[in-house]
Amino acid sequence: MNAHLLINSSYLLAAFLFILGLKRMSSPKTARSGIIWAGFGMGVATIAAFFTPHLGNIPLIIIAVMLGSFAAFVSAKKVAMTDMPQMIALYNGMGGGAAAAIAAVELIRVTNHGIGDYTLTVIILAVAGALIGAISLSGSVIAFAKLQGIIRTAWTFPMQQVFNLLIFLATLVLGYLIVTQSQDPAGISGMVLFAFFALALLFGILVAIPIGGADMPVIISLFNALTGLAVAFEGFVLGNAAMIIAGTVVGSAGTLLTQLMAKAMNRSLANVLFSGFGSKETGEAMDVDGSMKPIEAMDVSVMMAYAQNVIIVPGYGMAVAQAQHKVWELTKLLQDKGVNVRFAIHPVAGRMPGHMNVLLAEAGVPYDIIADLDEINADFQSADVALVIGANDVVNPVARIDPNSPIYGMPILDADKAKNVIVIKRGQGKGFSGVENHLFYADNTRMLYGDGQKMVAELSQHIKEF
């Protein structure tokens, strides 16, 4: 078997494993095996690449693979589940950065050795991949900084969108110059190439810097899609079928996920990218009636222990408190007393798509008692208790009733329709959108103040004593 046939056959197998893995990742029940299958596919593609004819710098490649694998293994073992969004953001950026680096190497090669066998189409794809990959890299780094708390505010300035547009147009002009200069015997200007990458990186920063925390699931999905697209473009440049297929699969999946996230917030992608959350022109928001009414853990435990139906609504506060294991312990105690317990997950709860599902799965919560918004919303009316742990904007009823609210029209979990609502919260602050939550002031709502993990543990202890 010649090298080309072996490589192409391996890439075909890798592509099959990528698609199989992605398919299995669509369900929580098979997601773990899907990741393993996709990992095998990446291993096959990596090994096959070493059989490329006339491949040079093999020792350096092996060292790079070993260092990268070691760093990924250690970081994946050490990172807390609550910090998973930050790790995902960084990995997105690394993928985009790798694609941009490939493009830079190929364009520098054209500058030093002439266009050679490259066609104009290949040069255009290299420039496009470089642009998209650089944007994904710098934007993902900003997303990481926001999720990590390094950058705590959404930075805006006057005429920001006009400035961003000018930067983008300037980057496109430089990209056009690179394409035209590649046809010139003198080659591509080093200054033009440097300025192109610098502006592309700057544009990625400018896109991500005004995005608020509430929009993070959408922006992470978008950068994931951009990374896939950049990898696919560079796959065409290198003639690497595995990169083309993997990039296309990731790009298309990321695009669909971005659309789903935006739909879950009832906002267009353009609104997420070009409007700060709540920046639209609105009238005066509704006044809040009533007051927040505190309750003690003992009273909550009695209420839940003698309930028939309980729905738990987890949010980012649960992740911060690392309360998922205590929540599952509480759930089992309630089930032992004959209480029907289910979990309600909003599509944008947390800081990345599927964040709550990952945390609950890590704690061992069975998949069959976890439901998404469409599946469970009608059941809140028959719920005796809705226990909200760290969720805020995704249960705010003003999204249904106040046209002047910046979150108006966003689909929410109808927790307010339960007979009793218990909200575990550290204090009386607002959510990431900055919108006052009217649920907290409702007649059927009581506030259990304190750290999520400690409060849930206290509830479990009281239930054990009954």
**Given pLDDT bands bounded at 50, 70 and 90, which one contains residue 329?**
very high
**Given pLDDT bands bounded at 50, 70 and 90, which one contains residue 281?**
very low
Question: How many Å separate Cα 1 from the centre of its chain?
Answer: 43
**Given pLDDT bands bounded at 50, 70 and 90, which one contains residue 279?**
very low
**Given pLDDT bands bounded at 50, 70 and 90, which one contains residue 80?**
confident
pLDDT per position as a tens digit, 161-208? 899 999 999 999 999 999 999 888 777 888 999 999 999 999 999 998
**Given pLDDT bands bounded at 50, 70 and 90, which one contains residue 1?**
low
CA neighbor of 231 nearest in space, from 97, 52, 35, 124: 97
Per-residue pLDDT, averaged over 49-65, amounts to 87
Token pair 């005796």: residue = 384
Residue 284 gets which letter from DSSP? P
Per-residue pLDDT, averaged over 371-387, amounts to 94
**Given pLDDT bands bounded at 50, 70 and 90, which one contains residue 286?**
low
pLDDT at 153: 72
**What is the overall mean pLDDT for the chain?**
87
Question: How many Å separate Cα 287 from the centre of its chain?
Answer: 33
User: Does residue 287 carry a catalytic annotation?
Assistant: no
Instruction: Please indicate whether residue 334 or residue 29 has the higher confidence score (pLDDT).
Output: 334
Q: CA distances (Å), 355 to each of 8, 221, 287, 320, 347, in order?
A: 36, 12, 32, 12, 9
Share of the chain above pLDDT 90, in %: 45
- Using DSSP's 3-state secondary structure scheme, residue 122 falls into helix
Judge whether 122 and 236 are in contact, CB under 8 Å. yes
Instruction: Record the pTM.
Output: 0.81
End-to-end CA distance of the chain: give it in Å, rounded: 72
All domains of the chain in start order, with CATH: 79-274 (no CATH), 297-465 (3.40.50.1220)
Residue 287, number of CB atoms within 10 A of its CB:
7
pLDDT per position as a tens digit, 196-248? 999 999 999 999 888 876 677 788 889 999 999 999 999 999 888 888 988 99
pLDDT at 104: 94
pLDDT per position as a tens digit, 91-139? 999 999 999 999 999 999 888 777 777 788 999 999 999 999 999 999 9
Q: Give helix 190-208 / helix 160-182 axis angle, nearest 10°.
A: 150
Burial class of 129 by CB neighbour count within 10 A (0 to 12, 13 to 18, 19+): buried
pLDDT at 127: 96
Question: Is the pLDDT score of 45 beyond 50?
Answer: yes
pLDDT at 463: 92
CA neighbor of 257 nearest in space, from 368, 349, 351, 354: 354
Ranges 30-34, 254-258, 432-436: which has the least confidence: 432-436
Distance CA 345, CA 361 (A): 13
Question: Is the pLDDT score of 285 beyond 60?
Answer: no
pLDDT per position as a tens digit, 421-462? 999 988 666 555 567 888 999 999 999 999 889 999 999 999
Which residues make beta-bridge pairs with 340? 309
Of 393, 402, 414, 416, catalytic: 393
pLDDT per position as a tens digit, 139-165? 999 989 888 878 877 777 888 889 999
